[in-house]
Structure 1
């Protein structure tokens, strides 16, 4: 197994006490596999990405095991983890400016990435003109116009969509073993969004790069990954192959998310939405965390939290309806 997460617990210290966002979280990812983590805001998706890369805010605490090729990332020192980031694991943040140095030009930062990749591949003193060609090709691949001008600019001189594509081009250059993409297409228009999704799929297919794609959009998750994990209030509600999740969802929450996706623009009917809001981590409901919003909930759902019930092999659903 390429990536194994066992009994991962992530908590944040706040003025109101400790808030446990992920508790006993489990995930297995094979080399070259792609999985989407789907859920509403506040479900713990971004926290999972921060935990794997060990880029949680100072108030965050994590325990358990995050094994990458048998090596527990939580046991590494900060210096050792710095060597892992960028080369073995690369994260694209929802706010792309978090990934770039504001006082260095785009070209300088991408050249540094290209130099790291060349040295890693066995070229001790890479030629600068060759590195620049790699950078320009990567920028052209993400459909950035005038890449020779883009490399002269600073991050703040670019639009949000342009900065996001610069960060994705850095992933193209470095070709890490694991790419974690946290809502990478949020700032992009639909046309560029499709191009970026195709690029990520290309990285996965051609280079065997494993991808964890974090999104609230089930339709995007279906397009880019072969497996989907649905999360709610810090817990896994359903995990299955993408095609099965979309065509035969099991959990009421998954069904609600799918019904909320607009599909027919010719009708004047109101869009479906799930009543209520996700709970606070300081005041989680008794029993199933989704039960206050679930139209199929019955007595037991409000009293006892269901376990992940196996639906065959590694595919699971957390719902008493399938006990």
Structure 2
């Protein structure tokens, strides 16, 4: 069965100020229906740029190359009329900035009803166009499902807290029953109780409706709980991918290991008082050298890491890692036996 979403050699370059900045470099991803993929990494690693490029939501200064195959169709070459149909009706985004994403001069009810009326043919009875009454009923159900009382449909965005607006954004993303949801930090502004409710809602949709979800978060505990698979990004590249539980319990890349140790362990006073961190800052994407981009911060760095590029290779069953240490014969990688390309199954991220 073909995957719902397949990303091949995706690269994004920003142009401005007299220079070009490679924000995403040669990323390959695969997402099946009914699967949740988590994207992890520090700020500036390229997660949001990657996610927004999938639906061509980046500004004109961004140059995007590669392929984004949605149900076999390349969205990067699709006509804008087709992209308009894909957005909302087939794929939707939960944006990170809920405080500014809603229209301040329209009630939230009207903002929820509008896309349902425009793209809601599938929700109508007998395949017909959905009625205004059906759309408002659907909007009320959506609000209730994310913990906002339906009676607030006549309220304006400024009458809600930041966390409530984030819940409304999630309701809007679900309005037209999309096949694909891209969620960029969807629970950051929510308290713990509401966060658990939203994650349960998304999990139910994935399993019951068979939708695919790409979730971006700095919180590895959320990704580990929610996602089937994880992909870790650093300096615009994927550095590791695999089943979420395996990747968090047994990381094969030093960067993934540093991220997983940055959170204190419940019940461990030592880790709570002194959580592990990562020295230094991410590199300037416009000034990357020929070697591993993580070499300057890596606790396990070897002298060859500064000059030898690291690419994703098989690092176990269904695991990929871009670390030279997983190569046979390390550190003499120049004479090591060739590593086979990842299998079709192992390359799924």
TM range (shorter): over 0.9
1:50-76 CA distances to partner (integer Å, 9 max, x unpaired)?
100110022111011100111000111
- Equivalent pair of 1:92/1:99 in contact (CA under 8 Å): no
- Alignment counterpart, residue 291 of structure 1, candidates 284, 288, 295: 295
Q: Distance in 2 between matches of 1:49 and 1:102?
A: 26
Taking structure 2 as the reference length, the TM-score comes to 0.88
Q: Distance in 1 between matches of 2:50 and 2:129?
A: 37
Q: Give the match's secondary structure for 1:181.
A: strand
Q: Distance in 2 between matches of 1:27 and 1:58?
A: 24
Residue in 1 aligned with 2:232? Answer: 230
Q: Distance in 1 between matches of 2:266 and 2:146?
A: 31
- Equivalent pair of 2:88/2:119 in contact (CA under 8 Å): no
- Alignment counterpart, residue 272 of structure 1, candidates 276, 279, 286: 276
Residue in 1 aligned with 2:332? Answer: none
Q: Give the match's secondary structure for 1:296.
A: coil
Q: Which runs of 5+ in 2 are unaligned?
A: 328-349
- 1:120-135 equivalences under 5 Å are 120-123=122-125, 124-135=128-139
Residue in 2 aligned with 1:113? Answer: 115
Query: What is the Cα deviation at residue 230 of structure 1?
Result: 0.7
Taking structure 1 as the reference length, the TM-score comes to 0.94
Once the two structures are overlaid, the 10-residue window that deviates more, 222-231 or 25-34, is 25-34
Residue in 1 aligned with 2:17? Answer: 15
Query: What is the Cα deviation at residue 116 of structure 1?
Result: 3.9
Residue in 2 aligned with 1:282? Answer: 286
Where do 4+ consecutive residues of structure 1 move more than 4 Å? none
Q: Distance in 2 between matches of 1:97 and 1:77?
A: 31
Q: Which runs of 5+ in 1 are unaligned?
A: none
- 1:223-262 equivalences under 5 Å are 223-262=225-264
Query: What is the Cα deviation at residue 112 of structure 1?
Result: 1.8
1:85 aligns with 2:87: yes
- Alignment counterpart, residue 321 of structure 1, candidates 319, 322, 325: 325
Closer/same/farther in 2, CA of residues 98 and 31 from structure 1, 3 Å limit: farther
Residue in 2 aligned with 1:189? Answer: 191
- Equivalent pair of 1:288/1:302 in contact (CA under 8 Å): yes
Q: Distance in 2 between matches of 1:49 and 1:29?
A: 13
